Structure 1
Amino acid sequence: MTAAKPAQRPSVPHFSSGPCAKRPGWTPQNLKDAALGRSHRAKIGKNKLKLAIDLTREVLEVPADYRIGIVPASDTGAVEMSLWSLLGARPVTMIAWESFGEGWVSDVVKELKLKDVTKLTAGYGELPDLSKVDPASDIVFTWNGTTSGVRVPSADWIRADRQGLTICDATSAAFAQPLDWAKLDVVTFSWQKALGGEAAHGMLVLSPRAVERLETYKPAWPLPKIFRMTKGGKINEGIFVGETINTPSMLCVEDYLDALNWGKSIGGLKALIGRADANTKVIADWVAKTPWIDFLAKDVSIRSNTSVCLKFTDAAITSLNGDAQSDFVKKLVAMVEKEAAGFDFAHYRDAPAGLRIWCGATVEAADVALLTQWIDWAFVEAKAQLAKAA
């Protein structure tokens, strides 16, 4: 059995969950004003870095008394800075339901070797019982599980009168999902996710409570230079006005500025969230009429609107072992990629076999709809090959 190929391809066939699709209409010409060959400590460099911070605050609607810094090593660097600089002052609750959250658990237990650690975990497609979080402890969690397609539905489970800090990895949530700033003390993300920026730069947002911890607590372990946020026991304010710890790429800075200005021009945070929601609705409508595919997350309230994760439900696929299911996914995705109709939408290597389609704001809903048509075609072709090989 064969199927006819769709008549159209997505205009932008990029559906990777990071680096993500560039914003609509992007061309290299948008970066013509980049401060190339100039020092990031020169006036032009400082001004652009400060502007990146200011626009981040405006578009992401960060409170005025929260500090925003550009830090090394993408979201990973921003999270590690937070863990190594802030934890150890009180017990810690680690919350994980996918691979990146599990990575932070491993760092805290195996590298920092903290003893008073409570782990709340759940499998792919589910959330742990958040009612078990101890408000007296520091809390570390991801807002949106990039590899599982599961997000927290809100921050209602975080106590307003908590004693500990909340450290939130929001890298695939920022600019696509509403963040409850009053409940968050540390927020991290990277440019290459929801705004389609370039890699290697992280963003660190600190509440006044987090700054107080930095100025009153000194970890028992030494901190590498790129993790240090204080000088003489006081917060290093320079980091939060664009005086970066190490040298940033001014080309990447220009690209981030372009993405922020685009986000601002279309209506800011509300519009960005709306675009991601609209893209995800295209997937939901397709799933509703397609008997062999479903969301990995059963509960609609916790489904991501950025890293949308799907599983196959067809008996011919589910009856295969894990490796064989992964091979089926690879074959299907390769068929679509060969046609230049969609790239990088297979499951994450540690996640259950299936599809992961990025639906953030830089993606067009029309392109998502066209991708689903190509997946329909590839599914029929790949399943026929599977039956022939049996």
Structure 2
Amino acid sequence: MPANRPNARPNSPHFSSGPCAKRPGWTPEALKDAPLGRSHRAKIGKAKLKLAIDLTREILGVPADYRIGIVPASDTGAVEMALWSLLGARPVEMLAWESFGEGWVTDVAKQLKLDAKVTKAEYGALPDLSKVDTRTRDVVFTWNGTTSGVRVPNADWIAADREGLTICDATSAAFSQRLDWDKLDVVTYSWQKALGGEGAHGMLILSPRAVARLESYVPAWPLPKIFRMTKGGKLIEGIFQGETINTPSMLCVEDYIDALHWAKAQGGVEGLVARSNANAGALLDWVARTPWIENLARDPATASNTSVCLVVTDPEIVAGGKDAVSAFSKALAAALEKEGVAYDIGAYRDAPPGLRVWCGATVETADVAALTAWLDWAYAAEKAKLAQKAA
């Protein structure tokens, strides 16, 4: 390895895009008040779950007439509940520009067998949102492409007088990007992505229009128990007051509450957006002055400030084809992991080969800046190895 190893290291090497970094200063001591060994239906359990919902509403600015529920199976469970319970009442349009959006297309087209219109774009780009029929169709989309580093810039493309519902997977956008609640009928995310919480719990947020659909429409297919949100044609309000469908981990609930208190201390969603923007800015400033790497996102206006996806563009590496780029990118990630500098920064398996660095609000900007020096070091080291092999 070259001798010019950087002196400064990130204080936290956690740049994974999920589960994401814990909030700065986190220790297990933050969980000391968790009501372990107690029923979540006991008074103390209900109070914790209600607090988690109330803090979520306060920090994200969720309108008072929107319901917020804690549901099983992470963001995936929350999205599936929405798809299986709400779709089929009207025509649907599926938007996909990365792997998770593609997954929702598969569920709707192959599992629910709906004749959905599918609008796609390549990794690093968005489709022409102005052509999406948000007026008459239900529309399903990811706000931020976790595996492509591309996000919708805003919700201006969604009709205010729409007849259909908008179902938004916001798992890598919530708490780092501003969501236009007036344009969103269903919003989902997971604790482990949004604020570095522990896994297996999802959040499902419903507008009054989504609730009206649930109470007026019965899908043609059977619904598993964990998807059922109505009884006798009425919404089960308890789900959205902390009476979860299945037993939650009170340890995870405590961790989420801790993260929410931290988020509030940062100035709420505006403070968190600013932190994420600073993190992404530090990384992309380095990209702008580094000739061997680029942002996968083609348009700066739609580039993510959380899951920043990068591709190696060194002509010598690119000349070797996709396999060479993949091998070189993996070598960079492995070198940094071996040094204890950055964990889990390889591109997602379905994405173009490259790197993916989480820049969400729980990451410190100084750590991102320190990481860039190590990326330069790893690049030089791997290039030196290739030169030795060629010789």
SS in 2 for 1:193: helix
Contact kept in structure 1, 2:93 and 2:140, CA below 8 Å = yes
Alignment partner of 1:125 is 2:124: yes
Alignment of 1:1-12 (within 5 A): 2=2, 4-12=4-12
Report the Cα offset of residue 387 of structure 1. Answer: 2.8
Cα RMSD of the aligned pairs, angstroms, is 0.9
SS in 1 for 2:192: coil
Q: How far apart in 1 are the matches of 2:246 and 2:33? A: 22
Report the Cα offset of residue 298 of structure 1. Answer: 1.6
Q: How far apart in 2 are the matches of 1:90 and 1:230? A: 19
Report the Cα offset of residue 289 of structure 1. Answer: 1.1
Structure 2's unaligned 5+ residue stretches are: none
Q: How far apart in 2 are the matches of 1:352 and 1:203? A: 29
Alignment partner of 1:374 is 2:374: yes
Q: How far apart in 2 are the matches of 1:130 and 1:320? A: 35
Structure 1's unaligned 5+ residue stretches are: none
Contact kept in structure 2, 1:3 and 1:377, CA below 8 Å = no
Q: How far apart in 2 are the matches of 1:323 and 1:232? A: 56
Report the Cα offset of residue 323 of structure 1. Answer: 2.4
Report the Cα offset of residue 169 of structure 1. Answer: 0.1
Alignment partner of 1:191 is 2:183: no
Contact kept in structure 2, 1:3 and 1:380, CA below 8 Å = no
One-letter amino acid matched to 1:149: G
Q: How far apart in 2 are the matches of 1:359 and 1:76? A: 22
Q: How far apart in 1 are the matches of 2:136 and 2:234? A: 25
Report the Cα offset of residue 371 of structure 1. Answer: 0.6
Residue aligning to 1:171: 171
Q: How far apart in 1 are the matches of 2:373 and 2:272? A: 25
SS in 2 for 1:356: strand
Per-residue CA deviations over 1:7-44 (Å, capped at 9, x if unaligned) read 01100110000000000110000100001000011111
Q: Normalising to structure 2: TM-score of the pair?
A: 0.98
SS in 1 for 2:188: strand
Report the count of equivalent residues. 389
Residue aligning to 1:136: 136
Report the Cα offset of residue 79 of structure 1. Answer: 0.2
Report the Cα offset of residue 383 of structure 1. Answer: 1.6
Contact kept in structure 1, 2:167 and 2:187, CA below 8 Å = yes
Q: How far apart in 1 are the matches of 2:298 and 2:126? A: 11
Alignment of 1:290-301 (within 5 A): 290-301=290-301
SS in 1 for 2:383: helix
Per-residue CA deviations over 1:266-295 (Å, capped at 9, x if unaligned) read 211100000000001101210111111111
One-letter amino acid matched to 1:85: S
Contact kept in structure 1, 2:160 and 2:183, CA below 8 Å = yes
Alignment of 1:103-122 (within 5 A): 103-115=103-115, 117-122=116-121
Contact kept in structure 1, 2:318 and 2:324, CA below 8 Å = no
One-letter amino acid matched to 1:133: V
Report the Cα offset of residue 389 of structure 1. Answer: 2.6
Contact kept in structure 2, 1:309 and 1:355, CA below 8 Å = yes
Contact kept in structure 2, 1:3 and 1:381, CA below 8 Å = no
Report the Cα offset of residue 51 of structure 1. Answer: 0.5
Quote the sequence identity (%).
72
One-letter amino acid matched to 2:191: W
Alignment of 1:1-390 (within 5 A): 2=2, 4-115=4-115, 117-134=116-133, 135-390=135-390
Q: Normalising to structure 1: TM-score of the pair?
A: 0.99
